[in-house]
């Protein structure tokens, strides 16, 4: 006997409510970005999740109920052509009390692992590995400062932001503090003179061994791992990760060397003891939130394998 997938029927009115709620939730962030893009405007904080990560606003607005959920009616009809969805056969329809020939779809549990095998495996390695390590809270956001260290020497200029302490003041902060970044996707943007100042030498190859749960960028990346696993995950979980990432980005930039006061983001002056203490408090709170989300993501990853009854 072939394995039987465990399915649950979501009522059409409940699906409609969840889909509408999701669209409103995403639109709060995506619509201002799309309006700015159309007007040729940029925002140093609020554009980031739509420009750094590969998930586009239109993709994020698509609502997915997650693995094992069956949709009917209009939601099912709309998704019949969507990738990694499949229609139910008559036996499955009957088991759910649906008439033969009814339009019903669910996540395609068989096709998804075949198409996304590497992504699923790597996400699992990163999530489990990060969760297994102790959190570090001594970086103080200096990765952003290292990205502009000795910018005059390298003729680096942000096109529309100024350094809060100027070039010399920024360089002094870098030189007066230990830089302890463990995240490759921050480290790779360092200026050449900042690279040897970092206590660690993260690389793409060592990423799976170095990610740790205190890192702001590792916690922001929970959004990346979540959307890469769509539609196996629910869009609600993806948006929980997105909103945490949004708040982390705001704090990360407040602690950066840039002057963002005119954008409505007051500085967290990490060059002072008070600023460092504030940074660590935010960092610890974000780490606690990220730990809970990381556990949810890991559970859903496990369910991809366990959701079929042998």
pLDDT tens-digit profile of 196-241? 999 999 999 999 999 999 999 999 999 999 999 999 999 999 999 9
Predicted confidence (pLDDT) at residue 195 exceeds the cutoff of 60: yes
Please tell me the predicted confidence (pLDDT) of residue 310. 39
Q: Which two tokens stand for residue 147?
A: 């990205």
pLDDT, the chain, mean: 94
Q: Which two tokens stand for residue 132?
A: 């297994």
Please tell me the predicted confidence (pLDDT) of residue 63. 98
Please tell me the predicted confidence (pLDDT) of residue 306. 59
Strand 308-309 and strand 104-107: the pairing is unpaired
Predicted confidence (pLDDT) at residue 157 exceeds the cutoff of 70: no
Please tell me the predicted confidence (pLDDT) of residue 301. 87
Q: Band the pLDDT of 302: cuts 50, 70, 90.
A: confident
Torsion of CA 225, 226, 229, 231, to 10 degrees: -160
Predicted confidence (pLDDT) at residue 3 exceeds the cutoff of 70: no
Predicted confidence (pLDDT) at residue 276 exceeds the cutoff of 70: yes
> Can you give the pTM of this predicted structure?
0.94
Q: Which of 78, 115, 107, 57 shows the shortest CA–CA distance to 231? A: 107
Predicted confidence (pLDDT) at residue 304 exceeds the cutoff of 80: no
Q: Give the number of C-alpha atoms closer than 13 A to the C-alpha of residue 144, restricted to the C-beta side.
A: 23
Torsion of CA 17, 222, 228, 145, to 10 degrees: 120
Q: Band the pLDDT of 155: cuts 50, 70, 90.
A: confident
* 22 vs 117, more confident: 22
Predicted confidence (pLDDT) at residue 307 exceeds the cutoff of 60: no
Please tell me the predicted confidence (pLDDT) of residue 309. 43
Please tell me the predicted confidence (pLDDT) of residue 154. 76
């Amino acid at each position: 006997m072939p394995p039987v997938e465990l399915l649950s029927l979501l009522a059409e009115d409940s699906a409609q409510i969840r889909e509408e709620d999701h669209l409103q939730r995403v639109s709060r962030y995506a619509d201002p970005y799309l309006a700015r893009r159309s007007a040729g405007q940029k925002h140093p904080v609020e554009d980031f999740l739509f420009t750094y990560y590969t998930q586009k606003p239109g993709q994020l607005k698509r609502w997915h109920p997650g693995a094992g959920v069956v949709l009917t009616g209009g939601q099912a009809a709309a998704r019949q052509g969507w990738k990694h969805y499949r229609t139910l056969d008559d036996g499955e329809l009957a088991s759910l009390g649906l008439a033969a020939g009814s339009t019903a779809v669910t996540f395609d549990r068989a096709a998804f692992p075949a198409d996304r095998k590497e992504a699923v495996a790597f996400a699992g390695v990163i999530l489990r590995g990060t969760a297994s390590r102790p959190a570090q809270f001594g970086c103080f956001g200096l990765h952003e400062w290292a990205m502009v260290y000795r910018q005059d020497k390298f003729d680096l200029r942000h096109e529309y932001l100024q350094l809060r302490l100027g070039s010399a003041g920024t360089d002094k902060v870098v030189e007066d503090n230990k830089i302890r970044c463990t995240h490759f996707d921050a480290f790779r943007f360092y200026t050449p003179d900042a690279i040897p100042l970092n206590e660690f030498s993260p690389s793409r190859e060592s990423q799976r061994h170095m990610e740790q749960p205190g890192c702001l960028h590792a916690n922001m990346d929970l959004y990346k791992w979540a959307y890469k696993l769509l539609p196996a995950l629910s869009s609600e979980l993806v948006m929980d990760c997105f909103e945490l990432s949004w708040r982390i980005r705001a704090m990360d930039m407040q602690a950066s060397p840039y002057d963002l006061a005119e954008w409505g983001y007051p500085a967290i002056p990490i060059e002072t003891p008070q600023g460092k203490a504030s940074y660590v408090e935010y960092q610890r709170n974000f780490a606690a939130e990220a730990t809970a989300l990381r556990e949810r993501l890991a559970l859903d990853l496990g369910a991809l394998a366990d959701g079929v009854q042998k």
